[in-house]
Every structure is written in structure tokens, then in C-alpha cells.
């Protein structure tokens, strides 16, 4: 089994989500052949964006992103400083305050897992098809 991992840490909210997307693009390109289906690659980028956005908004402002390729799946893991797990909430169509991301991640992923970290905070993982 071939496994590839890329780690990235970002500290500024304005560039962090963009940096996470760039890191995910680079990770996916480095996987080589067979190339990932473009639709699945877009799904990985979308889930990275959502989990990093949630970490920045609700998880203390910093995060660590880990991407791992497994045969047939890609794992997206985001560590943040908050012990509070993501929660489903009713999407806000009127005031545009969000509520769509965690629903979307759970729809796109084969599985999602939230694990408390011994040193504090949590890791949110999404396992995506390739």
C-alpha cells in the first residue's frame, strides 16, 4: 500500500483557507498516476476548504491540515484548538451566517470522525472516495 502525507500549518485567517486549498492541490498533483478523477479532486478541495474555515471560525484561529492518500480513498484531517465538536445547525438563508459546511462534509464523505486530542482541541477527519 502506498501512502502519501502532506502537512501544512497556517496562522492567518485571510490567507489560511487559500493556503490550505493550494496545499491540497499540490498534494493531489503529487499523487501521480492514475490521476484522480477531477470531480473527486474538487470534492477534496471543497472539504479542505470547509474544515479549515470551520477550524478558523470556531476552533481557535489556527489549524493543522493533514492529507493522506489510501487505496481508493483520501483522508482530510484538520486539528484545531477547540474541544467542541462541529455541530449540525439549520442553514441560514436569510442572514448568510452559514450552517451549510458540516452538512455538506457529511454528505460528501464516506465517514467523518471527531477525536479529542490529549493536549487539547480536536481532530476532525473526513474520508473521501477517490
For range 76-84, the mean pLDDT = 93
CA distance 36 to 124: 23
Whether the per-residue pLDDT at 11 is higher than 60: the answer is no
CA distance 111 to 84: 19
For range 116-130, the mean pLDDT = 94
Residues present in the chain in total: 130
Tens digits of per-residue pLDDT, 93-102?
Answer: 666 666 678 8
The whole-number pLDDT of residue 26 equals 87
Calculate the dihedral angle through the C-alpha atoms of 59, 127, 74, 26, rounding to the nearest 10 degrees: -20
Query: Residue 113 — very low, low, confident or very high, per pLDDT cuts 50/70/90?
Result: very high
Amino acid at each position: 500500500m502506498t501512502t502519501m502525507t502532506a502537512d501544512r500549518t497556517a496562522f492567518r485567517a485571510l490567507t489560511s483557507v487559500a493556503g490550505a486549498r493550494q496545499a491540497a492541490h499540490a498534494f493531489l498533483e503529487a499523487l501521480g498516476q492514475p490521476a484522480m478523477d477531477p470531480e473527486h479532486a474538487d470534492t477534496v478541495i471543497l472539504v479542505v476548504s470547509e474544515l479549515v474555515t470551520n477550524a478558523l471560525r470556531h476552533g481557535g484561529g489556527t489549524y493543522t491540515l493533514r492529507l493522506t492518500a489510501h487505496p481508493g480513498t483520501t483522508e482530510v484531517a484538520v486539528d484545531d484548538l477547540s474541544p467542541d465538536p462541529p455541530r449540525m445547525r439549520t442553514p441560514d438563508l436569510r442572514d448568510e451566517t452559514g450552517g451549510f459546511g458540516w452538512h455538506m462534509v457529511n454528505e460528501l464523505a464516506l465517514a467523518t470522525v471527531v477525536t479529542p486530542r490529549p493536549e487539547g482541541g480536536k481532530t476532525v477527519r473526513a474520508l473521501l472516495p477517490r
